[in-house]
Amino acid sequence: MWKHKNIVPILIVFGIVSTLLALFAVSSWWWVFLVLFVWLGSTTWGAFDIRQGYFTDVFYKKKHENRRRVSLTFDDGPTPVTLDILALLKQHQAKATFFCIGKQINKHPDIFRKIIEEGHTIGNHTMNHSKGFGFLNAQQIEQEIDSCDASINDIVPHKPRFFRPPFGVTNPSVAKAVKETKHHVIGWSNRSLDTIIDDENKIFDRVSTRLVPGDIILLHDTSNKTLRVATRLLEYMKQQDFQSVTIDELLNLPAYEH
């Protein structure tokens, strides 16, 4: 399997052998470059495409889903927009999962409480959502996860099991941290790019045309643009007989440790 823990030992052996052969002029240095290229390519690809589960196990969709169920997920809240998203979900009797940032929970505890009261699931999305998340060491990541869990625990008696890394970045430090904190890493299979694309039609088309049963859809409860996209998306899902359920229901995994 193309996983970090399997690939690295193989690349080290190939690296040593190709370097020795090149040093004794038996083969070309190009083999050494090739090994380096494969190492760099796999590391970068694995770090930025969460679906690969290259460094750690990642749940990014429900495979072989035979019902028309999907999971809407909202990251980076709670914010005042979350209230409108909650009203929209209620109107459609849809359930979602919110990956909350600790410092946002501290800012909007009442909105956070409402997410839970309305039957949605929450997951950990770190304390600060640092822009340099990909460069933090395992201990710093653990601290980010633990502080977010503590903010959640201040309000509800739940310790979440689900963790979504900021920007979907995984690397050896993230793998080490989640092993320690015992969280499941949750990715996505349908990325809206709602924080990158300006055109609402494009975001809606992108998500709706690729929508398949078992999908985990990534959105952000941080803008009115996403609220409008979600409004159209839920209408479309109704027409197509898709139902949004929480991640724990979709994956049949407990969302909290009690």
Question: Which one of 4, 75, 120, 129 is the catalytic residue?
Answer: 75
**C-beta of 127: minimal distance to Zn ion in Å?**
12
149 binds Zn ion (CB under 5 A): no
217 φ, ψ (degrees, to nearest 5): -105, 130
Q: Give yes or no: 75 in active site.
A: yes
**C-beta of 236: minimal distance to Zn ion in Å?**
24
Question: Which one of 194, 220, 221, 248 is the catalytic residue?
Answer: 220
Which of 36-41's residues contact partners 24+ apart within 8 Å by CB, and which partners?
A: 38/11, 39/7, 39/8, 39/11, 39/15
Please say which residue, 42 or 79, places its beta carbon nearer to Zn ion.
Answer: 79
Candidates 75, 194, 215, 248: give the one binding Zn ion (CB under 5 A): 75
**Residue in the shown chain whose Cβ atom is closest to Zn ion:** 75
Candidates 76, 149, 194, 215: give the one binding Zn ion (CB under 5 A): 76
**C-beta of 75: minimal distance to Zn ion in Å?**
4
Task: Record the tokens describing residue 224, joined without a space.
Answer: 């009115």
**C-beta of 249: minimal distance to Zn ion in Å?**
22
Distance CA 247, CA 72 (A): 8
State the amino acid at position 82 in one-letter form.
Answer: T
Distance CA 254, CA 258 (A): 10
Distance CA 52, CA 7 (A): 13
Judged by the rule CB under 5 A, the positions of this chain that interact with Zn ion are 75-76, 166
